[in-house]
Structures are given as C-alpha cells and as structure tokens.
Amino acid sequence: MANTKRCIIITAKLNGTISENIDILPEDLVLCADGGYAYAKAEGVTPDAIIGDFDSLSDELCEDVLNFENTEHGKAPEIVRLAVDKKDTDTIACVKYGLRAGCGDFVIVGGLSGRLDHTIANLNVLSFLVDMGVRAWIRDSKNHARMIKGTFVEGMPTMEHVFNREVGINNGTPGMVLLSNRKNYNFSVYSYVERSTGVSIKGAKYNLDKAVMTNSYPLGTSNEFDGDNDAIISVEFGRLLIILSEND
C-alpha cells in the first residue's frame, strides 16, 4: 500500500491564507520554506520544521528562529539552515525533507504568485515529485496545479485509485486525474514535455480523444466543466501540467 502520510509545505509567496487553502491535520508533516514561516506564525500554525537560508524573513522572525534553535523544552520546530550559495531552492529542500520522512502526499501551499522564475521552479518541483512516484499539488486561493505522466505496462496503465476532494484535484492513476467540478473555475492542460500522446479529456466543454499535445502550442488553455460533470484527464505517453484557475 502506498504511503499516504501528507507533507504540507508553506512557501514564502501565498495568495490568500493557509486556512483558505488547506485544513491541517494533527498527523500532517508541516514544513515552512523560509519566509513561509511568516504566514504560519500569523495564523498560529506551529510547523514541524523551518527550512531555508532565511533571506526572506524579517529581523523579528529571524529572532524567532534563533530562539527555536536554542529551545530545549516544549514543542519547537526543527531549524534546518541552508547555505545562501546552494543548488536547491528552499521548496525542494522541504520536499526532500518530506520524502526522507516517508511522505506520499505533498501539498505545496503558495509558490504561484511571486517571481516568474520561482513559479517555474515550483512547477519543476511537481515534475520531480511525479518522478518520485508520489502525489503532489500546488495551490493558492486562485490556482491549483497538478502534474501526471503516462505509464503503460504491457499496454495497460498501472492503477492506483486515490480520491481526495479536499484539494480539488483527485488522482485516479499515474496517467489519469479526476478534476472535481468547481463553480467559477476553468482548467487548462499543457504538455510538460516536447510531445504527449493519447491525451483524452472527458466531461468538459471541449473534449479530446487520444490527441497529441506539444509544449510549443497552447491547445488546452481555458477549458470549462460541462454542467455539473467532473472532468477526467488522461495521458498514455508523456507528461501533463493541469491547472485549475478561478475565473476573474
């Protein structure tokens, strides 16, 4: 059975609040990526660890981190200090921490509304987690992002039935995802590799049946749910980035 322990990573750029995006459970592993601790403190969330080079924390919050490091009694987050000159982003350092802890579900809260290069880096983190064989989402109050890849074994997709409406995007198989119908949301589907084949979309205003998508043409932008139907998206070969976006 796949490990379903959940890792929640709070990033330094968040559209909305933590509580608007996720209900944190006592058994969750909660990590703050550097400045994500500011959001956690504002909402009274005590993380299990704060990870980063702390270049985006205020002097007051850096004092908190120093006090945590010197705390010997009571519940205090673990502090993982990263070098300023490092190869990993704070977010992927949190991901690796969660993987070492045995987590099989990742929810990255925020990370979509800051610098463009940081947003792209966080989408790359989704791709990395797909390769690690775990489920992952990035979400804020406006957008939810999920990635899937097609894997065929003797002509059939491997099956791992998981259903999780809490985050709005539900994993059916490694090559299939069910999008829960959300009012005032549309969704977009993009190939995250040069060429994805066998792309199908059902339950939408614009459906596809085993189509070819490339990463050089935005064929799947701004689709809509068909009435009250959920949408099912699948890919045979390749990798898809799926984004749910609230309508303006």
The CATH number of residue 230's host domain is: 2.60.120.320
The reply to whether 129 and 147 lie within a common domain is: no
The reply to whether 118 and 213 lie within a common domain is: no
Q: Domain boundary at 94, 110, 141, which?
A: 141
> Tell me: the pLDDT tens digits for 171-215?
445 588 888 888 889 999 999 999 999 999 999 999 999 999 999
Side-chain-facing half-sphere of 239: CA atoms under 13 Å: 14
The reply to whether 109 and 120 lie within a common domain is: yes
- Cα torsion 125, 128, 132, 136: sign: positive
The reply to whether 86 and 68 lie within a common domain is: yes
- Kindly report the pTM of this predicted structure: 0.84
Give the residue with greater pLDDT, 105 vs 83. Answer: 105
- Residue written as token pair 């947003």: 119
Between 29-38, 41-50, 156-165, 203-212, the lowest mean confidence (pLDDT) is in 156-165
The reply to whether 98 and 52 lie within a common domain is: yes
The reply to whether 89 and 101 lie within a common domain is: yes
The reply to whether 116 and 14 lie within a common domain is: yes
Indicate the pLDDT class of residue 12, thresholds 50, 70 and 90.
confident
Q: Domain boundary at 106, 125, 141, which?
A: 141
Domain total of the chain: 2
The reply to whether 175 and 65 lie within a common domain is: no
Distances (CA, A) of 118 to 13, 40, 114, 189, 197: 10, 20, 7, 20, 28
Q: Measured between alpha carbons, how far is 3 from 176 in angstroms, rounded to an integer?
A: 19
The reply to whether 64 and 114 lie within a common domain is: yes
Beta bridge partner(s), residue 231: 179
The reply to whether 150 and 129 lie within a common domain is: no
Average pLDDT over residues 154-166: 34
Indicate the pLDDT class of residue 129, thresholds 50, 70 and 90.
very high
The reply to whether 20 and 136 lie within a common domain is: yes
The reply to whether 209 and 227 lie within a common domain is: yes
- Residue written as token pair 């010197």: 70
- Supply the range of the domain harboring residue 208: 142-248
